[in-house]
Amino acid sequence: MKRVVITGLGAITPLGNTVAELWDNIRAGRSGAGPITKFDASKFKTRFACEVKGFDPESYIDKKELKKYDPFTQYALAASEQAVADAGLDFASMDESERYDIGVIWGTGNGGISTFEQQLKEFDTGDGTPRFNPYFIPKMIVDIAAGVISMRYQLHGPNYCTVSACASSNTAIISAFDTIRMGKATMMIAGGSEAAITPASVGGFGAAQALSKQNDSPQTASKPFDRDRDGFVMGEGAGALVLEELDHALARGATIYAEMAGGGMAGDAYHLTGTHPEGLGAVLGIQRALRDAGITAEAIDYVNAHATSTGIGDLSELVGIKRVFGDRPVPISATKSMTGHLLGAAGAVESIISILSVKHDLIPATINVTTLDERIPEGMNLILGKAVSQKVNYALNNTFGFGGHTASSIFKKYL
């Protein structure tokens, strides 16, 4: 099968609205959390999140067009534009036939949820006559970001959306990888976006006891692996990758960040929202990714854990990692301690972080850990407090989602 490389990256995140800003803050171990500004959260049990800050959609989208796009699509367009520019691509100068072999696969868990909430508030005019915005449906539906990205660049290759909750964008990247190496495309834009810091999302996840309530200390609330963690911190944003067939990338002189080596997906088949206590889905996803990459667990130099800062989820993942890696102390960190949990966009942003870890030989830290949970399996090499400079030839990125979805991707140095 064909080899696939990463030639472009783009990011809109709570830690910065470019890849460079994101990486600088990850290396420095900074938190993106703060009080919620998207709506009045004063009556909510959780009143903080990792919001995107200072994002100007008009830098990427014509003002007249903005009314057509929910924020999750705005973030998608912005991150994709960055990735396309980073890859040195000028689609307008390409022959149409070349664009037939370039596609888009985009992931999201919630799609246009803010549009949905707002429309339901406004549809009743008071006289019993319902009124709906003509852009309501195309702003809301989860597939629209993939469609809009393809329209912007006139890309006629495979085009669809993956929805697997918090594994959505990692699933999108694995799907794009498979599409290229099977010869069904020469290049794909893949990733995911989420804009779910809304009353319904915060209220719903809060009612499910999934969110941290440490309102007095937002920046230290996301603390995977810590004994006193009490839930995840919601985030938002987007991550975009340009994946490209190796020979195509070489022929046009593209800069290559890393090679994608493999991907594995599985189903926990256990619980609506909880992960299997023995990490079954994680084990299967990781093992399939390793087999797909043609390597053993000994080759992995860094694991970017899904670890969201929930008791059951963090522990079950570590149990699964222990089952795969045995006594080998593979370095593990949870970058959600800094970014928060970007839900359907998490896999894409964490793939970017994993790719940059490979490129720069740096393992990010898990911040905010004061007292390790005593239930963590013995021998785990958790990178805490400060990033570590260390050779990273292979990085593994885990993502899991409600419904039992698991996805693991592997990136390696391009040699």
- For residue 362 the two structure tokens come to 């740096």
Six token digits for residue 401? 């989602």
DSSP class of residue 393 equals S
- The residues pairing with 226 across neighbouring beta strands, listed in sequence order, are 372
CATH number at residue 155: 3.40.47.10
Q: Which residue's entry shows tokens 């090679």?
A: 259
**Which pLDDT value is given to residue 248?**
98
Q: What is the pLDDT of residue 273?
A: 86
Q: Would you state the pLDDT for residue 224? A: 98
Between the alpha carbon of residue 379 and those of residues 113, 306, 321, the distances in Å are 42, 19, 11
161 is catalytic: no
Q: Residue 123: its pLDDT value, please?
A: 84
pLDDT band per the 50, 70, 90 thresholds, residue 214: very high
| Mean pLDDT value across residues 278-282 | 92
pLDDT tens sequence across 242-262: 999 999 999 999 999 999 999
Q: Distance (Å, rounded) from C-alpha 137 to C-alpha 112?
A: 9
* pLDDT (tens digit per residue) in 327-386: 999 999 999 999 999 999 999 999 999 999 999 999 999 999 999 999 999 999 999 999
- In the chain, the amino acid numbered 50 is C
- Domain range for 317: 4-412
C-alpha separations of 351 from 116, 223, 276 in Å: 29, 20, 23
pLDDT range class, residue 172, cuts 50, 70, 90? very high
Given the residues 12, 33, 166, 392, the one annotated as active site: 166
Q: pTM for the whole thing?
A: 0.97
Looking at residues 134-145, what average pLDDT do you find? 97
- Per-residue pLDDT for 148 more than 80? yes
Over the stretch 84-101, which tens digit does the pLDDT of each residue have?
999 999 999 999 999 999
- Strand duo 388-389 + 362-363: pairing: antiparallel
- Nearest Cα neighbor of 22 from 9, 31, 11 is 11
pLDDT of residue 126: 76
Contact 51, 36 (CB under 8 A): yes
**pLDDT score, position 124:** 77
Q: What is the pLDDT of residues 49-72, one digit of tens each?
A: 999 999 999 999 999 999 999 999
Contact 410, 399 (CB under 8 A): no
Tally the residues of the chain. 415
Q: Which residues pair with 398 in a beta bridge?
A: 408
Look over the chain and give the mean of its residue pLDDT values, rounded to a whole number. 97
Contacts for 204 with CB less than 8 Å, ≥ 6 apart: none
pLDDT of residue 127: 79
Q: Is the predicted pLDDT of residue 81 greater than 80, yes or no?
A: yes
Domain count of the fold of the chain: 1
State residue 30's pLDDT score. Answer: 98
